[in-house]
A = this chain, B = another copy of it.
Amino acid sequence: MAKEIPDIIVGRLPRYLGVLKRMAQEGRQTTSSQELGERLGISAAQIRKDLSQFGEFGKQGTGYSIPYLIENLEAILHVNRVWDMVLVGVGDLGHAIARYQGFSDHGLRTAMIFDNDPKKIGQRVGNFIVQDSAELAEKVRQAGIKIAMITVPASAAQSVANELVKAGVKAILCYAPIVINVPPDVHVQYIDPVIHLQRMTYYLS
């Protein structure tokens, strides 16, 4: 792979993959850039151009084989394997994520959960026993975990992130409503409902 893929394209690939998997579940075998575009609200030309960055997956006149395209996208995104993840912060949201069933079949698996509240440590949540955050760095490094989800309060998020980086984590999904500082080789994504909601209130009278 000589060429650098723009991040904005990478960001669309999981969406393509998700729609394709749903189509596969519906029993579909082939699709076209046009149909994908309609389902996603993206132009057909854009989808073709995005996919063509990684190879020639389609056939003229026929379109794309859904299983074949899924297979290739999973390989591109490195989800043709299972990534263990660590969850830090077992409040209401952490609780929900710990029990979430939607990661399997997408190359992701919650492997361990941590909290620093003595009342929570040792308790069972979903299929997990809440472990002590004090042991986070050691346990995470030992397990070779590279992906983390942070659901602690904003005030604790940066120090948790520091621990995770120390433990060798390279990708963080942060639910705390702050920007965290990490080394350039660590990727961070944010999920904050307030941001999304305020983006929409702009358009409300």
Contact = CB atoms under 8 A, between A and B. Distances in A.
Main secondary structure of the interface of A (DSSP, over half): mixed
Given A14-B195, A196-B191, A99 B106 contact: no
Nearest to A92: B96
Contact of A171 (B40, B77, B103, B201): B201
B177 A18 contact: yes
B14 A194 contact: yes
A137 interface: no
A187 to B, nearest CB: 5
A173 interface: yes
A200 interface: yes
A100 B192 CA distance: 12
Contacts of A79: 198, 201
Nearest to A85: B197
B149 A173 contact: no
A204 B171 contact: yes
A155 to B, nearest CB: 11
Interface string A93-113: 101110110110011100000
A128 interface: no
B173 A196 contact: yes
A178 B14 contact: no
A124 interface: no
A170 interface: yes
Contacts of A173: 193, 196-197, 200
